[in-house]
Amino acid sequence: MIKTVKDILVLCTGNSCRSQMAEGYLRHFAGKKATIYSAGIETHGVNPLAIKVMAEDGIDISNHKSNNVNEYMDIDFDLILTVCNNAEENCPYFPSKALRFHYNFPDPAKATGTEEEILNEFRRTRDLIKVYCEKFLKIHITSNGKTFENFQQ
């Protein structure tokens, strides 16, 4: 039996900003073609500024929870996407045939400056993640098997 809905896991360090934004966009763009999960190698809670900037773009992540990757060890993921170098380097082994992908997005939680400068950093990261997620799904969900090898941000 061919699996028609893909299970996708997005991993980050704390599952508070980047992976939450990616989960929001992947759910939005994938619709019913994929089940999206996000987790961290730690849990830090969903960052209120991530919620705010996603809402500005019409994506509601206010009900998302910060999950630890160990909660998902029993799921046979098709695709695993790490969105920061720390998660890629420390990602636990998943006993599956999941294809793994990585893109190191800037961490907006580390931004400094005025409130507006920090918000702008969250927006910049959000926009990078949005473009990436849309392209990622076009390749892996709607392109009938094209590979990720030629995919560039």
Task: Count the neighbouring beta carbons within 10 Å of the beta carbon of residue 39.
Answer: 25
pTM of the model: 0.89
Q: What confidence score (pLDDT) does residue 110 get?
A: 95
The residue whose two tokens read 């019409």 is 58
Question: Which residue among the candidates 8, 10, 12, 98 is catalytic per the annotation?
Answer: 12
Which of these CATH numbers, 3.30.420.40, 3.10.129.10, 3.40.50.450, 3.40.50.2300, describes 6-140? 3.40.50.2300
| pLDDT tier, 4 (very low <50, low <70, confident <90, very high otherwise) | confident
The residues spanned by each domain of the chain are 6-140
From 42, 44, 86, 91, active-site residue: 91
**Share of residues in the chain with pLDDT > 90 (%):** 72
Residue pair 28/80 in contact (Cβ under 8 Å)? The answer is no
Tell me if residue 133 is catalytic: no
Pick the range with the lowest mean pLDDT from 2-6, 91-95, 125-129, 143-147.
143-147
Residue 58 clears pLDDT 70, i.e. is over it = yes
Q: Which of 8, 80, 83, 84 is catalytic?
A: 84
So what's the pLDDT on residue 92? 66
**Which of 27-31, 79-83, 96-100, 149-153 is predicted with the least confidence, judged by mean pLDDT?**
149-153
pLDDT band with cut points at 50, 70 and 90 for residue 153: very low
* Residue 17 among the catalytic residues: no
Q: pLDDT (tens digit, 9 = 90+) per residue, 83-137?
A: 998 877 776 666 678 899 999 999 999 999 999 999 999 999 999 999 999 999 9
